[in-house]
Amino acid sequence: MGGDFGQRGPVETCTMPNAVVNFEEYMSNRYKSTFIRDEMAKQNRNRNRKRKTPPGKLSRPKRPVPFVTEEFKIKYNEGHPCRKGIHLLTSARLFHLTTQKRAQDPVHRDHIESMFRGEKLTFQMFNHYEELKAVDLQEGGNFCDAPILCSTNRERHTINGIIAPIRASAKGVCAIRWNADLKPYWDQKSSDEYISDIIDSDPCFWEYFVPGTDGYLTVNLCKPLKLVNGTPIRYHSLSFDSPEKDVEFQNLVADAEVGQVLSLPLHLRPEAINVELIDLSDESRQKWLQYDLSLLPDKIVIPLPCKRKFAKMPKAIIVPGSPNGEYKCSKVRVKNFFPVEPGFAITIYKAQGRTISKVILAISERQGNGCALNYRSIYVAFSRVKHKHDIRLLLFDDNGNRESLTYLTKLKADPCNLAFVEGFDTNGGEATESSISTYSSLERRNLIPSHPVTRGSVIKSIISL
């Protein structure tokens, strides 16, 4: 078992060190009631969100909820995968790798290693990285195909809508889009008279296609063929269910200008998106060609048909309100027809674990729900590349003095990571006294936050282990 504790944990859950602290907190008699109360409060909130009273009917009285549910008890029983994982993690020896293998630039490597150790971020550290310029996004520029790393899906959709015509203009083609969902699910719906304007102007309601640009799969299609969530692809062409639609589509593309965003009518939604598989090993490429699975003899191009019926209900996306106050901010859930999305912008969660040749980081301080970046997000974002010259900073509302990065100096590393690593001696064995001294020093320096880091707050119960 191995892992970089400095990175972010899985979506909607916690990191490995936090999981161990949660378990010990649950097993502790002193803090058991506090932990269960926090967990049950979260379960009750999720349960109430799913229950919706139909119009015209009175809501039923709330039934008393048991103090501890069976599902919550099973999670920490012997034999459960969560309990097994915690046992493996706590019984394993710790091998501390002191050299950053991905980073090859000495200056960049020093910054990454200092973040791994949880040291304070300094303003001078980010002066070694250049800002994004317009020439970088032009065809032939070093960052013309580089993804933009952002914090939320709301930002990702917005950036995709902005970058699509720019990348299309650089490729000498037009950007194509079609409605992603004919009947999106609104958690908070605006007035019906503004719905059409909202859908037409917001990129989250559209699927984009720019031939020759990179993207990635969004679902697991075939694990033996390594067609899984996050697999990189390159957009190739579109397929339709009739020759007449294909001719009509070609006529629309011929009349469109370079860099124009062409919105397809409803009856011209493609039947499949043909994508080229990139970053394949020679062995995998030979298998695809041997079994004649590719549409072209010299490239591995496969069709991705509509996977709408297999799509899960996505997370709600915030739709901003109008500047003049005609309609308010709302929330919507949109299902894409195809299991692929452009790679113009990706979230830091999606980029975790990858090595990227060039990357653009949107790390400026900005207002918005979920847009705030923590210490682990910054560490993941900067550790994706090998050299400092492979990073460009996309700064918002900045006059060249980089004031939008001042907030980074106030970020603090997760104390769970520091204490967990400190809980082992130099020979790899467990050192409880070291954990106690680490938590005591963290308390004296006020590095342990007063609010919960995860659902199980970091408290002193680990000291009593």
Half-sphere exposure of residue 306: CA atoms within 13 angstroms, side-chain side: 14
**Position 298 in a domain:** yes
* Full domain range(s) for residue 297: 154-342
**Position 286 in a domain:** yes
**Structure tokens, 183:** 């009947």
CA separation for the pair 287, 284 (Å, rounded): 5
- What helix, strand, coil percent values describe the chain, rounded to 5? 40, 15, 50
The SS3 of residue 114 is: helix
pLDDT tens digit at each of 465 positions of the chain:
345 555 655 554 566 666 666 666 666 644 445 555 566 666 666 665 555 555 554 455 554 443 445 555 666 677 777 777 777 776 765 555 556 667 788 889 888 888 888 888 988 888 899 888 888 877 777 888 899 998 888 889 999 999 999 899 988 999 999 998 767 778 767 777 788 888 888 999 999 999 999 999 988 888 888 888 888 999 999 999 999 999 999 999 999 999 999 999 989 999 999 999 988 888 888 888 777 778 888 889 999 988 655 456 677 788 887 777 777 888 888 888 899 999 999 988 888 878 888 999 988 887 765 567 888 889 889 988 999 999 999 887 666 678 888 888 888 887 766 666 665 544 544 444 444 444 444 444 444 433 333 222 222 222 222
CA separation for the pair 418, 118 (Å, rounded): 7
**Position 230 in a domain:** yes
For residue 362, count other CB atoms closer than 10 A to its CB: 22
227, 220, 221, 190: which is closest to 205 by C-alpha? 190
**Position 182 in a domain:** yes
441 contacts 399 by C-beta, under 8 angstroms: no
**Position 358 in a domain:** no
Instruction: For residue 426, give every residue at least 6 positions away whose Cβ sits within 8 Å of its Cβ, in sequence order, or none.
Output: none
pTM to 2 decimals? 0.73
**Position 103 in a domain:** no
**Position 108 in a domain:** no
* Domains of the chain: total: 1
Instruction: For residue 26, give every residue at least 6 positions away whose Cβ sits within 8 Å of its Cβ, in sequence order, or none.
Output: 32, 35, 36, 76, 456
